[in-house]
Structure 1
Amino acid sequence: MKARYELYYWPSIQGRGEFVRLAFEEAGVPYVDVARLPVKQGGGVRAMRKLLEGAGPGLAPFAPPFLKVGDVLLGHTANILLYLGPRLGLVPDDEESRLAAHQLQLSVTDFVAEIHDTHHPIASSLYYEDQRSAAKKRAALFRKERLPKFLGYFEQELERSGGAHFMGASISYVDLSIFQVIEGLRYAFPNAMGHAERHAPNLAALAGAVAARPRIAAYLASPRRLPWSEEDIFRHYPELDAKR
């Protein structure tokens, strides 16, 4: 029997669950986005809570996304992709390549956390309006220091791999994740990215190539791809973006 992949994430935002969705979509592998199912079909946020309550010691993830495959229950985006990569054909077979891909994905995780903290630098539990002043300072430093540093690192690693894909000749889940980050940054910081991308031509080309892949293009045009919003990780607040 084929594995039944059940993805658990918040139903109204792309968030960190989108990195996992993109892997399934590119691979053309069916998956169940549980929280988006009607409650009558066992879906909704309640389904996530119920699963966590029934998890054994050490098996309950801290927060979504998490993935259930039979008796396997995994949390953390990078950990989920480490598991899915070889099963979906989105990473080379050898251990060295799998670990290299995981290392890059962990750097993506760090990058995403810093992007999130530009609009919530004090606490996630507070509204953006309650920390607007701190967000302006955090975003200014992010645009000046952290954005070019992260993009420069990924640009360098992509160039070392040949410039087309991070993991050799074939697309990997790292390529898909970088596409998501680039697109999210273009939404959140259009002015800053307009400048920064000139120094990262390989990343820009990769994002365009991923968007044009048949399955990804079909997904992006479908209602399964939720729109960007100011309830998500990537948020566009004009006062946080640079004007050039």
Structure 2
Amino acid sequence: MPYELFYWPSIQGRGEFVRLALEDAGAPYVDVAREQGKGRGVKALMAMLDGGAAPLTPFAPPFLRDGEVIVSHVANILAWLGPKLGLAPEGEALRLFAHGLQLTITDFVLEVHDTHHPISTDLYYEDQKREAKARTAAFLTHRVPKYLGHFERVLNENPSGPAHAVGGATTTVDLSLFQIWAGMTYAFPRAFAGADKRYPALASLAAAVARRPNLARYLASERRIPFNESGVFRHYPELDQAAGKAGRTKV
């Protein structure tokens, strides 16, 4: 039976990290909310959240159904899928390290989200633009170098070489690092200009992931939802500061 991915149909969002793993592995899956027909569509997603998965009801998408197993949260889903798809390192120690990196990526994605919704997700971006400018300036100046610097160091310290984050073969962590690189390129083109010089190992990894045959076909297909201003990575020109200037922005 194909895997069933439950996520919102019109955005990449957090669900994209799972899609990348499934697409790279060529695994059969159904993107439930994007499909039509019996048991498909957004109604099917909402039915699961309203108790259709009881007693394993998830809190929010994304979540994955694999037969009778339901797994929620990106890092958990990828920890479940990685070994099945051949996208996990060998050995318990490396798998735990990879899971920790995936959780760190989850933290980073949350901070990206909070650049445009620093007060509340219940408010529109337009209702918190002043706060968003302040939050984004701090994020670009302090948080991005902290996170990406850590990932760059992990790549360079990998005993198997900097082509991968963990071990000597592609894992879900590599795919997720590609996604945050692509997302930052879209959301903050000015602030992220020259990032390939500051984080050359990350840039090389992202380029290599994009060239993987299955992913290259996916990225060029209609299945890859374009970045847009409803997802996690949003491009608001008023938030994007030239590289090195974010810390001096007045709001």
Scaled to the shorter chain, the TM-score interval is over 0.9
TM score, norm. by length of structure 1: 0.96
Question: Is the aligned partner of 1:10 residue 2:28?
Answer: no
| Higher mean C-alpha deviation, range 19-28 or range 48-57 | 48-57
Q: Given that residues 90 and 167 in structure 2 are in contact (C-alpha distance below 8 angstroms), is that contact kept between their aligned partners in structure 1?
A: no
Question: Is the aligned partner of 1:88 residue 2:77?
Answer: no
d(CA) in 2 for partners of 1:79 and 1:216?
22
SS in 2 for 1:192: coil
Q: Given that residues 7 and 61 in structure 2 are in contact (C-alpha distance below 8 angstroms), is that contact kept between their aligned partners in structure 1?
A: yes
The aligned counterpart of 2:17 is: 19
Which residue identity does 1:11 align to in structure 2?
P
d(CA) in 1 for partners of 2:52 and 2:219?
34
Which residue identity does 2:11 align to in structure 1?
I
Q: How far did residue 191 of structure 1 move?
A: 1.1
- Structure 2 unaligned segments of length 5 or more: list them: 244-251
Match of 1:113 among 100, 110, 115: 110
1:42-86: CA deviations, max 9, x gaps?
2111101222312233x2111000000111111100000000000
RMSD value, Cα? 1.0
Match of 1:75 among 72, 76, 81: 72
The aligned counterpart of 1:134 is: 131
Count of residues in Structure 1 that have an aligned counterpart in Structure 2? 240
1:108-148: CA deviations, max 9, x gaps?
00000000100110011111110000000000000100011
Which residue identity does 1:149 align to in structure 2?
K
1:199-222: CA deviations, max 9, x gaps?
110000100000011110000000
d(CA) in 1 for partners of 2:215 and 2:53?
33
- Structure 1 unaligned segments of length 5 or more: list them: none
4+ long deviations beyond 4 Å:
none
Which residue identity does 2:39 align to in structure 1?
G
SS in 1 for 2:201: helix
Which residue identity does 1:218 align to in structure 2?
R
TM score, norm. by length of structure 2: 0.93
Question: Is the aligned partner of 1:206 residue 2:205?
Answer: yes
Q: Given that residues 148 and 196 in structure 1 are in contact (C-alpha distance below 8 angstroms), is that contact kept between their aligned partners in structure 2?
A: no
